[in-house]
């Protein structure tokens, strides 16, 4: 057959095969609550699966991008937090490529771990865990850590294959189980410290190195669950990148690409109705024009639901949807433009201060978790990092806002300080159960994945899963949901 003809026929044929016999019209309208990465990515994936005719309304109470945001210092923009993306983040890579954006290179700099009195560990290059020096200090612990993280990552990467074949999971437990069996599910129930000690990593290595990495990524201790810990350690181990121009460009770009209708308002709740025997969801919101509501066939919630969010309610659902456990960890980022007080770190001569990134040990007297000499979101080839004796832009992470005295301790003097307070990450507690993904027939909850690990790529993976799950459920393609033995299935399918 002539190639042009085959090219025309094949997509149609594929569509026929993909949709089960009782093919159903797509949903008329879908509401997405939140326009952070989760909301933007799920809109994009939902449109890929259901097609462009579906009306997509995305509700956002603040700025598009959510926790991906920048601050401006001296006419240049800097990531105010979610900064670095692991090299193996395949969905994030795809987004950047699809949107015609570019990856921004990491400007090399040295890092070290500070105890409040001195540096317990000094690095010779940026990647905290990749060093000969670590090997020298901690010997076999370092190797064991690497092997442990690599094994977890290798299993985690299976998700891309499953998703490429259209498989979805209706719960986080099912997802984990298919990636790494019961051992993976167990990794959400025990601490990273326990898991590492068990594979033979020493207590000293846990205290000096693992603690520092977790303080800088989650602002928490080595008691975070092993799975979240592994993801954060993977980030510290490999090379990382960011989006040229700012990570938030991915969100605005995806929403623009899908031509989603962004509604600036705060969603106050979702109530259940039915029409012709089908569930219909009414989304209630308040905006500058007052209160409003609209009806949808499907809703995806991409903002964290927890008890302190009592003003977001679900009505008419039986059984009721409430009771989301857990609390969130407050975290503060201060972007400071000023001169580092290198004396505080034991370097009276600022010219000799060698570090661009300072991590900390779990020391009660320390008032900050980590600080970095950061680069703008646009860096030219000629860019060089500011020298320690020059005024530079530092991002300081802490649990509490820094007071004047604390700022005066870290900086000899400064021009400006911009503070953002976040309810940033779940307060990880190994004993909690994981939140659900399916809240009702066509009502989904994306943000629960942060209880596994909190990162841009995890959110993107969850967005793809929710879109596939919504699609497979809509078409009652149950063979593509919660399938067992997927490793075997995807091998034989190709
Ligand atoms: C301090 C910090 C550092 C981080 N560092 C990294 C990092 O280096 N690398 C990495 O990969 N990840 C990092 N992360 C994690 C990453 O930022 C998040 O996982 C990701 O941005 C979450 O995206 P999201 O869309 O799920 O949530 P959000 O970005 O929080 O988006 C939710 C959106 O919903 C909106 N919203 C909430 N309630 C309502 C409502 N009722 N009605 C309408 N809209 C509503 C919010 O305004 C927000 O825009 C970091 C996070 C923080 C806070
Ligand atoms: C998972 O945890 C349970 C309960 O603690 C335990 O019985 C089981 O052996 C563990 N499984 C694996 C594979 O680690
Ligand atoms: C920064 O990068 C983005 C994305 O490549 C680009 O759109 C923007 O114009 C750049 N800004 C500057 C000031 O170079
Ligand atoms: C509702 O909850 C959000 C998030 O916690 C909060 O910012 C907002 O002020 C609350 N609004 C009301 C009216 O209580
Ligand atoms: C800098 O650090 C030194 C040593 O801790 C401290 O004595 C001093 O007060 C700090 N602040 C300034 C502005 O020098």
Identify the pLDDT of residue 5.
42
pLDDT at 2 over 50: no
Query: pLDDT band at 21, cuts 50/70/90?
Result: very low
Instruction: Among the bound ligands, name the one nearest to the CA of residue 309.
Output: 4
Dihedral (CA of 402, 408, 411, 416) sign: positive
Instruction: Kindly provide the b/e burial profile for residues 314-333, where b requires at least 16 CB atoms within 10 angstroms of the residue's own CB.
Output: beebeeebeebebebbbbbb
Cα–ligand 5 centroid distance for 343 (angstroms): 6
Structural Rg of the chain based on CA atoms: 24
Cα 307 to ligand 4 centroid, rounded to whole Å: 12
Distance 87 CA to ligand 3 centre (A): 22
Torsion of CA 380, 386, 392, 394, to 10 degrees: 80
Lowest average pLDDT, out of 255-269, 300-314, 454-468, goes to 300-314
Instruction: For residues 267 and 57, give the distance between their C-alpha atoms in angstroms, rounded to a whole number.
Output: 12
Give the per-residue pLDDT at 133: 57
Q: Which residues contact 38 (CB under 8 A, 6 or more apart)?
A: 66, 302, 446, 447, 459, 462, 463
Query: Directed axis angle between helix 140-156 and helix 172-186, to 10°?
Result: 160
Residue 242 pLDDT greater than 50, yes or no: yes
- What's the mean pLDDT in 411-421? 96
Average pLDDT taken over every residue of the chain: 89
Distance separating alpha carbons of residues 212 and 359, to the nearest angstrom: 6
- pLDDT mean over 383-407: 92
pLDDT at 7: 43
Give residue 66 CA to ligand 3 midpoint distance, Å.
20
Q: What is the pTM of this model?
A: 0.92
Ligand 2 in reach of 430 Cβ (< 6 A): no
Residue with the larger pLDDT of the pair 310 and 316? 316
Residue 325 pLDDT exceeds 90: no
Residue range 203-215: average pLDDT? 91
What integer pLDDT is reported at residue 173 of this predicted model?
96
| Arithmetic mean of pLDDT, 403-408 | 97
Give the residue-averaged pLDDT of 337-345: 97
pLDDT of residue 111: 85
**Considering only CA atoms, which residue is closest to atom 3 of ligand 3?**
245
Distance CA 278, CA 258 (A): 26
User: Which of 134-138, 231-235, 370-374 is predicted with the least confidence, judged by mean pLDDT?
Assistant: 134-138
In whole angstroms, what is the distance from residue 359 CA to residue 109 CA? 13
What is the predicted pLDDT for the residue at 137?
66
Share of the chain above pLDDT 90, in %: 70
Proximal ligand: closest to the CA of 333: 1
Report pLDDT for 427. 84
Tens digits of residue pLDDT in 148-205: 999 999 999 999 999 999 999 999 999 999 999 999 999 999 999 999 999 999 998 8
| Nearest residue by C-alpha to atom 13 in ligand 5 | 412
Q: How far is the CA of 266 from the centre of ligand 4 (A)?
A: 9
By alpha-carbon position, which residue is closest to atom 3 of ligand 4?
309
494/215 Cα distance (integer angstroms): 43
């Amino acid at each position: 057959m002539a190639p042009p003809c085959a090219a025309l026929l094949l997509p149609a044929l594929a569509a026929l095969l993909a949709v089960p016999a009782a093919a159903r019209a797509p949903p008329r309208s879908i509401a997405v609550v939140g326009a952070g990465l989760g909301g933007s990515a799920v809109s994009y994936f939902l449109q890929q699966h259901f097609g462009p005719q579906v009306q997509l309304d995305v509700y956002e109470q603040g700025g598009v991008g959510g926790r991906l945001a920048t601050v401006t210092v001296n006419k240049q923009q800097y990531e105010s937090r979610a900064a670095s993306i692991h090299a193996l983040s395949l969905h994030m890579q795809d987004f950047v490529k699809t949107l015609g954006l570019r990856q921004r290179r990491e400007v090399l700099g040295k890092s070290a771990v500070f105890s409040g009195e001195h540096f317990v560990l000094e690095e010779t290059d940026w990647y905290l865990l990749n060093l000969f020096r670590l090997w020298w200090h901690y010997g076999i612990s370092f190797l064991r850590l690497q092997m442990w993280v690599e094994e977890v990552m290798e299993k985690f990467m299976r998700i891309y294959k499953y998703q490429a074949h259209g498989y979805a999971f209706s719960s986080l437990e099912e997802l984990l189980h298919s990636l790494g069996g019961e051992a993976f599910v167990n990794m959400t129930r025990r601490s990273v410290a326990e898991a590492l000690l068990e594979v033979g990593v020493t207590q000293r290595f846990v205290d000096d190195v693992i603690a520092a990495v977790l303080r800088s990524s989650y602002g928490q201790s080595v008691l975070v669950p092993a799975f979240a810990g592994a993801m954060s350690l993977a980030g510290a181990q490999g090379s990382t990148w960011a989006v040229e121009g700012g990570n938030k460009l991915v969100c605005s770009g995806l929403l623009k690409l899908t031509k989603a209708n962004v509604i600036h308002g705060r969603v106050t709740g979702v109530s259940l109705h039915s029409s012709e025997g089908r569930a219909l969801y009414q989304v209630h919101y308040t905006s500058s024009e007052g209160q409003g509501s609209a009806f949808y066939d499907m809703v995806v919630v991409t903002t964290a639901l927890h008890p302190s969010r009592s003003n977001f309610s679900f009505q008419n659902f039986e059984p009721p949807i409430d009771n989301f456990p857990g609390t969130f960890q407050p975290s503060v980022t201060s972007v400071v433009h000023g001169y580092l007080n290198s004396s505080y770190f034991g370097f009276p001569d600022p010219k000799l201060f060698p570090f661009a990134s300072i991590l900390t040990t779990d020391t009660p007297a320390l008032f900050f978790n980590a600080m970095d000499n950061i680069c703008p979101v646009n860096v030219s080839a000629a860019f060089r990092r500011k020298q320690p004796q020059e005024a530079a832009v530092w991002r300081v992470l802490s649990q509490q806002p820094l007071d004047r005295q604390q700022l005066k301790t870290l900086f000899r003097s400064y021009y400006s300080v911009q503070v953002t307070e976040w309810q940033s990450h779940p307060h990880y507690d190994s004993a909690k159960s994981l939140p659900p993904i399916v809240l009702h027939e066509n009502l989904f909850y994306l943000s629960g994945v942060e209880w596994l690990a909190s990162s841009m790529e995890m959110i993107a993976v969850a967005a793809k899963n929710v879109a596939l799950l919504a699609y497979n459920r809509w078409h009652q393609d149950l063979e593509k949901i919660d399938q067992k033995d997927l490793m075997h299935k995807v091998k034989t399918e190709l």
